Amino acid sequence: MRKDVRILLVGEPKVGKTSLIMSLVSEEFPQVVPYRAEEITIPADVTPERVPTHIVDYSEAEQTDEQLSSEISKANVICIVYAVNNKKSIEKVTSHWIPLINDNTDKDSRVPVILVGNKSDLVEHSSMETILPVMNQYTEIETCVECSAKNLKNISELFYYAQKAVLHPTGPLYCPEEKRMKPACIKALTRIFKVSDLDNDGILNDNELNFFQRTCFNAPLASQALEDVKNVVRKNVIDGVCDNGLTLKGFLFLHTLFIQRGRHETTWTVLRRFGYDDDLELHQDYLFPLTLKIPPDCTTELNHNAYLFLQSVFDKHDKDRDCALSPEELKDLFDVFPYMPWGPDVNNTVCTNNEGWITYQGYLSQWTLTTYLDVQRCLEYLGYLGYSIISEQESQAAAITVTRDKKIDLQKKQTQRSVFRCNVFGDSGSGKSGFLQAFLGRNLTRQNIVSEEHMSYYAISTAYVYGQEKYLLLHEVFPDFDVLSDADLACDIVCLVYDASNPHSFEYCARVFKQYFMDTKTPCMMIAAKSDLQETKQLYALTPLEFCRKHKMPPPQAFTCNTADAPCKDIYTKLATMAMHPHARLRCMCTCNRCTFCHLQNFINSELVQTVKAKLYTAILSRHVTQADLKSSTFWLRVSVGATMFAVLGFAMYRVLLKQR
Ligand code: GDP
Ligand code: MG
């Protein structure tokens, strides 16, 4: 919103400018007035729109033309005052004042003008007949008003209109010549309609209208009022009401009506609530809230509430309920965006169905990826979807979890994160892209139909780490060392891919490892790709297996995506597990879900154990806690004993099970 409003009064001498200002301030007609009133400032809390308002007088006798020009360019709204009983002062409105104002203001940002006919107490007839044609001729004239400083008629109205002309200008909304809303306004309202149409059936039903009303005006609409609104629309537009709800056509008609009846502040309230600024662009503060600070070594993820919202957006657009978005459904989903955010590369970044359409899982993965790589962009996208409004949050930033500093995670050997990044290195032709695409369930045959320019350097999907679903983000790093960025090196796990059938392929992996990762704590995994082909001896001092042993890496993992069905996913589960538990040195690398280690991990993470654990805590808490207890140290002792008991028990079982192996 604006900080303040500056109103300037101009007009011929003696039309009553100074008297109008004095009448407003003192609420009585001043018998004697100076040539020019001092500039006055009305504090925000006594103005109807709650904005500080400056009122500036002009006097030809006291001011030069330069001073007048400067005041005109400073003003936010100009009242041209004439006296209704003085023909000459009316003529001067068009012959002198409007041209003068236009000369002193920008063509693109015309200052709104209000025509003020003063001294209405002196005549029987209204001046409107003369004034209306003038209004139609000059679109910068916002409105006109007849008033009297003498009997205080329409004085506060005049200043209210002036304020409104600045705060809720009709200019961006409505074209008076064509008597309809401007395209930008229609576009904005259409987006608002789509966002508010929660079930996407093209109709705002009573629930949706009530929600809309509540978010925009902080009050639900009484059911009778709701009916009245619908009746007005029914009477005036065919198809404005359908199935007892408001169609887009009806919604737009309603706003045209508001504007035509001078109630355009209603439309502005709606537009502003949905993030629009005075130029009907989405406001920067709405799209990019500044509240979000991301310290180094922290990553960004979507929280539960945000996933729920995105789920509902998906559901409302997956009309055929096939859990995938067809091209039309996707287009419809992004209709509320000013541009199409997802290019064809997205289809090669996330899981798709047999038709190549992004699945529900793929859709959530892409959102997760955007949040991880470019949180600002994610906020922007959420803004277009109306996240903060529909989910009733303070700002888009409420969707984001900033994770704990990775160093602390490592120190505590625990992480709450759900997205892990794996950077994939390898010489050109070693099979990196195939490795990424296989994660999306695509074998070589399927990969070959993708055109080069639609390829993606990212692949993201989920993997289960001991029963918990986690996102694994694979990033293919360009093999040229000279162009490596910090982001190419920062990750949770490194994959070193070599072509097992090419004797020159391994050397690159060894070099990358020695140059960048040997001295870091980042876990590394060697992948022997194209294992369906004949393996050849690598031209390097050590064999890959020896190299891995020497550097305390797991042995090279044979991998191929040249399979009849979808390639095997075990390797990705391993990667996600290593990324999540980098500290677990003596790790069972199989993640087969059959061996004891896997069973045990599954057991510890199982819902049963978690529930028992929670119940145990609640039991201890509810049985023993009274107000006095909370203060006493014995209570905390008891709770911590409970927790320790559980930890000891868990550990003992772990050891028993391990021994069995
Ligand atoms: P300015 O030169 O435009 O500032 O005009 P003034 O405020 O000095 O007023 C000029 C004369 O018109 C004064 O004698 C005022 O008393 C008189 N006047 C101002 N407003 C009204 C009004 O609403 N009705 C009548 N009857 N006289 C007015
Ligand atoms: Mg004066």
Tell me how far apart the alpha carbons of residues 148 and 150 are, in angstroms, rounded to a whole number.
5
- Ligand 1 center–CA 20 separation, angstroms: 8
- Ligand 2 center–CA 43 separation, angstroms: 23
Give per-residue pLDDT as tens, 337-365.
999 999 999 999 999 999 999 999 999 99
What's the pLDDT score for residue 659? 47
Tell me how far apart the alpha carbons of residues 204 and 307 are, in angstroms, rounded to a whole number.
24
Atom of ligand 1 nearest to the CA of 31: 16
pLDDT at position 525 over 90 = yes
What's the pLDDT score for residue 494? 96
Ligand lying closest to the C-alpha of residue 123: 1
Atom of ligand 1 nearest to the CA of 34: 8
What residues are in contact with ligand 1 under a 6 Å CB criterion? 11, 13-19, 33, 118-119, 121-122, 148-150
- Ligand 2 center–CA 33 separation, angstroms: 7
What would the two tokens of residue 576 be?
């996600």
What angle, rounded to 10 degrees, do the helices at 304-317 and 360-373 form?
A: 140
What's the pLDDT score for residue 584? 67
Q: Residue 336 — very low, low, confident or very high, per pLDDT cuts 50/70/90?
A: very high
Protein residues placing their CB within 5 Å of the ion ligand 2: 17-18, 59
Specify the pairing of strand 180-181 against strand 113-118.
unpaired
What's the pLDDT score for residue 603? 67
Average pLDDT, the chain: 88
Give per-residue pLDDT as tens, 273-294.
999 998 999 999 999 988 788 9
Give per-residue pLDDT as tens, 293-324.
899 899 999 999 999 999 999 999 999 999 99
Which of 143, 145, 139, 144 is closest to 174 using CA atoms? 139
With beta carbons less than 8 A apart as the criterion, state whether 13 and 82 touch.
no
The angle at the Cα of 574, spanning 459 to 586, to the nearest 5 degrees, equals 145
Ligand 1 pocket test, candidate residues 9, 10, 14, 151, most atoms within 8 A of CB? 14
Q: Residue 255 — very low, low, confident or very high, per pLDDT cuts 50/70/90?
A: very high
- Ligand 1 center–CA 47 separation, angstroms: 24
Give per-residue pLDDT as tens, 458-474.
999 999 998 899 999 99
Tell me how far apart the alpha carbons of residues 137 and 542 are, in angstroms, rounded to a whole number.
88
Tell me how far apart the alpha carbons of residues 308 and 306 are, in angstroms, rounded to a whole number.
5
Ligand lying closest to the C-alpha of residue 83: 1
- Per-residue pLDDT averaged across 624-630, rounded? 45
C-alpha of 303 from chain center: 14
Three-state DSSP state, 659: helix
Any idea what DSSP says for residue 479? Answer: S
Q: Residue 524 — very low, low, confident or very high, per pLDDT cuts 50/70/90?
A: very high
What's the pLDDT score for residue 178? 85
- Ligand 1 center–CA 86 separation, angstroms: 12
What's the pLDDT score for residue 398? 94
Query: Which H or E run includes 23?
Result: helix 17-26
- Ligand 2 center–CA 59 separation, angstroms: 5
Query: Which residues touch 532 (CB under 8 Å, ≥6 apart)?
Result: 560, 562, 563
Tell me how far apart the alpha carbons of residues 588 and 530 are, in angstroms, rounded to a whole number.
24
What's the pLDDT score for residue 625? 45
Any idea what DSSP says for residue 110? Answer: P
Give per-residue pLDDT as tens, 41-62.
999 888 877 889 999 999 999 9
With beta carbons less than 8 A apart as the criterion, state whether 245 and 199 touch.
no
Which of 141, 182, 161 is closest to 271 using CA atoms? 182
C-alpha of 102 from chain center: 39
Give per-residue pLDDT as tens, 403-454.
999 999 988 888 999 999 999 999 999 999 999 999 999 999 999 888 888 9
Most confident among 172-186, 199-213, 605-619, 630-644 (mean pLDDT): 199-213
- Per-residue pLDDT averaged across 496-514, rounded? 96
Ligand 1 pocket test, candidate residues 33, 60, 153, most atoms within 8 A of CB? 33
Q: In which residue are the tokens 């154990």 written?
A: 609
Q: Residue 27 — very low, low, confident or very high, per pLDDT cuts 50/70/90?
A: very high
- Per-residue pLDDT averaged across 507-518, rounded? 95
Q: What percent of the chain has pLDDT over 70?
A: 89
pTM for the structure as a whole: 0.79
